[in-house]
Chain A
Amino acid sequence: DAGVIQSPRHEVTEMGQEVTLRCKPISGHDYLFWYRQTMMRGLELLIYFNNNVPIDDSGMPEDRFSAKMPNASFSTLKIQPSEPRDSAVYFCASSLRTRGRPQHFGDGTRLSIL
C-alpha cells in the first residue's frame, strides 16, 4: 500500500518567495497532520485536519503560514512570504479515525530559504 506522499522532497528558494508543500495521505485515513522539525525546536505540530476540516491550527507560527485540505486525498501547506527562519523539514502524517492509532509519516520536505 502507498504511504503518505509528500512533494517536493527538497526545496531551495530565496527569501520572500512563496513556497507550497504538498501531501497525499494514506487512502482511508481521515486525520492529517503537518509538522515542522528543526534542531532547536524538535518536532512541532503546526495544524491538523479531520475529514478535511482544520481542527487545531494553534501551532501555525504566523499568518505567513496557511494550510488547506480541499479533499480527502490532498493537502497543502503554504508559506508566503518565506523567510530564512522557515528553513526546516516539514512532515505530513495521516491516521485513521480511531483514537490511539499511529500516525504514518511521509518522507518530509527539506526546505531551505536563502
Chain B
Amino acid sequence: AQKVTQAQTEISVVEKEDVTLDCVYETRDTTYYLFWYKQPPSGELVFLIRRNSFDEQNEISGRYSWNFQKSTSSFNFTITASQVVDSAVYFCALSEATGNQFYFGTGTSLTVIP
C-alpha cells in the first residue's frame, strides 16, 4: 500500500495564481514526520520543510505555506502568487519513528506559465 499519495500528477497555473499541492499519508505510528522536497528542472532535490506529528500548526515561509491536518492525514503545500521559478516537481515524504526510511510520493509536476 502506498504510504504517501500525491494524486495530482501535473498542474499548470498562470503566474501570480495561487496553487495547492495535495499530500495524503498513511501510517499507524503515532510519531512520524512529514517533509516536502522540490526538484527543479536542474534535477537536484531540495529540502523545503519538516513537520512532526505532534505539531499541527500551519507554517508560512514567504510565499510558501503548509497545512497539516491529522484528521484527514493530509499535509498540503500552497504557493501564493506563483512565479516561473516555482516550476518544479514537488515531493511529499513520510518518515516513521519506527524506522529510518523515507516514503516518497510520486511527485506533482508544477508548471507556472508566464
Contact = CB atoms under 8 A, between A and B. Distances in A.
Q: How large is the interface on B (under 10, 10 to 19, 20 to 34, 35 or more residues)?
A: 10 to 19
What is the interface of chain A mostly: helix, strand, loop, or mixed?
A: strand
Contacts, number: 46
Contacts of B104: 42-43
Contacts of B50: 100-102
Contacts of A102: 35, 47, 50
Contacts of A34: none
B84 interface: no
A89 B91 contact: no
A11 B46 CA distance: 22
A7 B98 CA distance: 32
Contacts of A103: 47, 102
Contact of B100 (A31, A43, A89, A104): A31
B33 interface: yes
Q: How large is the interface on A (under 10, 10 to 19, 20 to 34, 35 or more residues)?
A: 20 to 34
Given A42-B107, A56-B101, A100 B33 contact: yes
B46 to A, nearest CB: 8
Contacts of B45: 91, 93, 105, 108
Q: 7 tightest CB-CB pairs across the interface, nearest first? A: A100-B33, A105-B45, A102-B47, A43-B104, A107-B44, A42-B106, A102-B50
Interface of B: 33, 35, 37, 43-47, 50, 52, 91, 95, 97, 100-102, 104, 106-107
Interface of A: 31, 33, 42-43, 45, 48, 50, 55-56, 89, 91, 93, 99-108, 110
